[in-house]
Amino acid sequence: MNKFKYFPFFFLFFGSVCIIGQKFNFVMRGIPIGGHSWDEIWRNMPFLITLTTILAFCTNYFINEVGKNEITDSIEAKKRLEEKEKNRSAPDTHECRVCGCYSDSFPWGADGKSPSYQICPCCGVQFGKEDITLESINEYREKWLGKGGDWFAKEEKPELWNREEQMKNVPNEFI
């Protein structure tokens, strides 16, 4: 990206504004400014060129910074989308990404890309909200295990439930 692409435009714009302000009688805060003859304007030209250059450089700099931020934001958004795509479940997967609990329905849809937004009865994760990236899955899993790894919906807990055995069901790409 050319850093000074718009500089000539800003220079001409601010230069014109400065000269017009000198030639015609503008009032700023109740004080008349301008109404100068062309000779006076010509004598003020070094000041006007300096002022115009400073204004043009500053404006050009801020426009470039906004452009850089937009590019950076779009690159980061693309990386987040790629990360999301990388962490999709395999199609026809019934297990929770966090705890490996089997579900009759597909937590992430039959295609592995459409979260159901249901709550896992074992660990309490909301499919499609707290289990989108590998980082968020590991963070939620650590939090769940840190609280003891107990069953979330206690009335649905199987009698012979074994957390370690169930955790073996977590799809390999989410460990």
pLDDT of residue 1: 53
Instruction: Identify whether residues 21 and 81 lie together within a single domain.
Output: yes
Distance CA 109, CA 114 (A): 5
Instruction: Identify whether residues 81 and 148 lie together within a single domain.
Output: no
Instruction: Identify whether residues 67 and 39 lie together within a single domain.
Output: yes
Among 4-8, 26-30, 119-123, the least confident range? 26-30
Residue with tokens 């707290």, as numbered in its chain: 130
Give the residue numbers spanning the domain of 118. 88-175
The model's pTM: 0.48
Q: At what angle do helices 7-23 and 45-86 cross, to 10 degrees?
A: 140
Q: What are the phi and psi torsion angles at 77 (to 5°)?
A: -65, -40
Q: What is the mean pLDDT of the chain?
A: 81
Question: Per-residue pLDDT averaged across 2-13, rounded?
Answer: 83
Q: Is residue 1 part of a domain?
A: no
Among 26-35, 95-104, 158-167, the least confident range? 26-35
Residue with tokens 């100068």, as numbered in its chain: 36
Instruction: Identify whether residues 99 and 65 lie together within a single domain.
Output: no
Instruction: Identify whether residues 56 and 116 lie together within a single domain.
Output: no
Structure tokens, 126: 């909301």
